[in-house]
Each structure stands twice: as C-alpha cells, then as structure tokens.
Chain A
C-alpha cells in the first residue's frame, strides 16, 4: 500500500456552502419595488434640499445627507453610459453567458443603475445609445422584474 506513496491524482471533496437568508429592503425601497411590480414604473427620489435625483432610491441624500421621503416617477428610458459583454461562465453568474450588462443613466436621474441589455447585437452596443426598460410578465418586487433594457427603436 502507501508504504511507497507515489505521485497520484489529488483527492477532492465536492460540496456546497449553502446559506439561506432574508434581506429587508426597507420602507423607501419597498415602495420603489412595489411600483415596479404593480405599475411597471421606475421611480427615483429627489432630495428636497439639493434637488439631486437618485435612483435606486435612498432615504439619505448622497450629496448633502438630507433626509428623503418621497419618490419621483421616471420615464423608464435612459442612456447607456458604459457596458460590457460577459463571456465567462461560472455557477454564480447572473445569467448564462454571453450577455451584456450596462450602466444606464435614466432620463431625469443624476445617478446611474446597472442592468442587463437585451434585444441587441453586441456589436451594436455603443455608449450614448438610447434604451428603455422591458418588464417581465410575472413580477416579484425585485430588480429582476426589469428583464433588461433594450435599444429604443428610431
């Protein structure tokens, strides 16, 4: 037996680290997601002091730290700031590659959100292109209720 240990294949134990958890989005973000789920409307917030429009909503302004309580409705249309096409496949990927993900500045907002870009040929992706949100038929009050952003047809 192993009285003469020879160079052999290493042994692996395969398994999972499984963590069930429950995350509370908060009162303001709850309103944001409910509006997406029930009315297919994307909202931001407008700071009452410095007028910065932030999306996704925050209850504290990122610029002046004032308290924010109300949502403002946005059009769901925006401009692509930057993007990447993902080819790398792993078990923790959001989607099966290849897929495009971009930073999108919604019209009227001062901040940008990250989401998938769909219904587009990857070669046609260009910073500055106009996009609009596409919603899922079934919505569960989370960010994936927005299926992706697609180019606005001229």
Chain B
C-alpha cells in the first residue's frame, strides 16, 4: 500500500540491551584467576603432544586430546616478540559495551617468552612506522584492584628496548 504524499510513517527506534554473564569454564577460568590475582600469564599444555596454548584450550588443536586445568601449565611472558601485526582505522559498535571502538587501534601477534606460543592482543604503538616484526614488547596489566578476570586485564603490549 503506497502512502499518499505527506502521510507520516511511524518507526520504532529501539536499542535492545540484554545483560549477559558468560561462564568461561575451565581451564580458561584458571588462566584468568592467575591473571587477576597474580598478574601472571600462563599457557596450558596438551598432555599428549606437548603443544602449548595461550589463552588455554579445552581440546588440543593438533591431536584433539582433552586438555584440562589439571594438566601442565607453563608460565609465559610478560615479554614477547612481535611476529606480525595490523592497524585498523575502522571503528565499529562493540556489541558488549554499546560504545564505538577507539581508532586507530593496533593488534599484534606476540610470541611470548617461555614457550612456543603466540598471543593476539592490542599493541600500545599505533604508528605503523614504529612497529617491526621481531620487536620486543611487554604486557601492561591493569593494577591489581582493577583486574576483573578477563582478557582486558592486559591493557596492551608496550614496546621495550632489548
């Protein structure tokens, strides 16, 4: 039915905001407990093939063995080496907070000291001229009282001279 000229059409403009509480399960819970309480980053290890994962996994991606919080953990970081990175100028609505993501932001994949494992996280440096693969970085954590037990307890990785 085509509206006649000058007929007002009504729209409902709404923002549905549903609060969620996602349980991490284990071994991820253990990873966050250590990060929150002690500021330490750990990787878990597959009990069969010895592959390391940071953040930890429930199932080994190589041989599908079950990895639990009771299996071996390896301390990694807080320093690491940048393997690769990207910088984004594109902002978008963060679904979990309703805010637009601050741009530019850079994300690096860091090989962490202590185990052959790489973690993806924000880099402090957003100038592409200043980031090079092989660059040394160190995790910057929130102060203990502000840590919640999620990945944002690590604010970003800052460039260090080594």
* Chain A residues proximal to chain B, CB less than 8 Å: 1-5, 8, 10-25, 27-30, 33-34, 59, 69, 91-92, 141-142
Is the beta-carbon distance between A2 and B30 smaller than 8 angstroms?
A: yes
Is the beta-carbon distance between A141 and B93 smaller than 8 angstroms?
A: no
Is the beta-carbon distance between A22 and B11 smaller than 8 angstroms?
A: yes
- In the assembled complex, the Cα of A54 lies from the Cα of B27 at a distance in Å of 57
B161 to chain A, nearest CB (A): 30
Known: A2-B34, A2-B69. A16 touches B10 (CB 8 A): no
Question: How many B residues touch the partner, as a band?
Answer: 35 or more
A86 to chain B, nearest CB (A): 19
Is the beta-carbon distance between A17 and B18 smaller than 8 angstroms?
A: yes
Interface of chain A: mostly helix, strand, loop or mixed:
mixed
Is the beta-carbon distance between B20 and A17 smaller than 8 angstroms?
A: yes
Is the beta-carbon distance between A18 and B42 smaller than 8 angstroms?
A: no
Is the beta-carbon distance between B96 and A3 smaller than 8 angstroms?
A: no
* B9 to chain A: closest residue by CB: A30
Residues of B10-53 at the interface with A, using a CB-CB cut-off of 8 Å, are 10-30, 32-34, 38, 40, 42
Is the beta-carbon distance between B10 and A13 smaller than 8 angstroms?
A: no
- In the assembled complex, the Cα of A18 lies from the Cα of B17 at a distance in Å of 5
> A residues within 8 A CB of B40?
1
B102: interface (CB < 8 Å)? no
Is the beta-carbon distance between B95 and A11 smaller than 8 angstroms?
A: no
A17 to chain B, nearest CB (A): 5
* B19 to chain A: closest residue by CB: A91
B162: interface (CB < 8 Å)? no
Is the beta-carbon distance between A13 and B24 smaller than 8 angstroms?
A: yes
> B residues within 8 A CB of A18?
15-18, 93, 95-98
